[in-house]
């Protein structure tokens, strides 16, 4: 993924750093990585972030530098890929599979399969899950292919701009055939998975239809 910025008369005198931070919205961590890999250019020449810009200067940055998650072993898996482009890959996670290696799941997580898939395609990047699902939950999991996209999508989640929809099977049968439950939910005490209705919880809307 490449970024390009042409300096106009009003922005002369600014530093490269200010353009990277304010116009490209790069994090300081990403800027440090770009500096370390010497991937910041102005008019085709590698420059320091303190470089003071002139009118018509052209800043160019390629953020697809090589990196890897050394603690994740590549393992061949059958992946159900729903969507993929140069920025993200979205998969259907089956129940019983964790997102990243943890505990006894060091070589059978979704990240292990993604690592193998990336390597088979010649893609050298870290494994960056954007969202997570519990081990027993099946659904869409998105991985970002670079730090910039990961940061942008995480900001959307934090700003509640990331819509999540769940389909669940419940015990019992509601009186109404269809309906909506609009009640806030929060984590149950002493549980990292279970949720309960709580006035101090996050907004939650459930639309239901009785099937059988």
Enumerate the active-site residues: 134
Please classify residue 140 by burial: count the beta carbons closer than 10 Å to its beta carbon, then call 0-12 exposed, 13-18 middle and 19+ buried. middle
Whether the Cβ atoms of residue 83 and residue 140 lie closer than 8 Å to each other: no
CA distances from 194 to 163, 189, 197, 201 (A): 20, 9, 11, 13
Whether the Cβ atoms of residue 107 and residue 75 lie closer than 8 Å to each other: yes
d(CA 31, CA 135): 34
In 77-162, beta strands by DSSP E = 81-84, 88-93, 128-129, 139-144
* Nearest CA among 104, 117, 129, 103 for reference residue 74: 117
């Amino acid at each position: 993924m490449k970024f390009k910025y042409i300096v106009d008369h009003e922005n002369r005198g600014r530093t490269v750093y200010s353009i990277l931070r304010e116009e490209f919205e790069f994090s300081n961590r990403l800027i440090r990585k770009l500096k370390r890999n010497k991937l910041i250019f102005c008019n085709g020449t590698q420059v320091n972030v303190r470089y003071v810009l002139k009118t018509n200067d052209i800043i160019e940055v390629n953020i697809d530098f090589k990196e890897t998650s050394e603690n994740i072993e590549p393992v061949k898996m059958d992946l159900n890929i729903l969507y993929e482009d140069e920025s993200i890959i979205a998969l259907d996670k089956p129940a019983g599979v964790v997102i990243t290696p943890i505990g006894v799941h060091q070589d059978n997580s979704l990240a292990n399969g993604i690592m193998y898939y990336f390597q088979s395609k010649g893609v050298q990047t870290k494994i960056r899950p954007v969202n997570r699902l519990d081990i027993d939950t099946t659904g869409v999991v998105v991985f970002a292919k670079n730090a910039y996209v990961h940061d942008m999508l995480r900001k959307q989640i934090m700003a509640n701009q990331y819509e999540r929809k769940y389909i669940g099977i419940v015990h019992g049968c509601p009186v109404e055939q269809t309906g909506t439950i609009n009640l806030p939910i929060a984590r149950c005490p002493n549980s990292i998975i279970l949720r309960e209705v709580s006035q101090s919880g996050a907004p939650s809307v459930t639309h239901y239809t009785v099937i059988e």
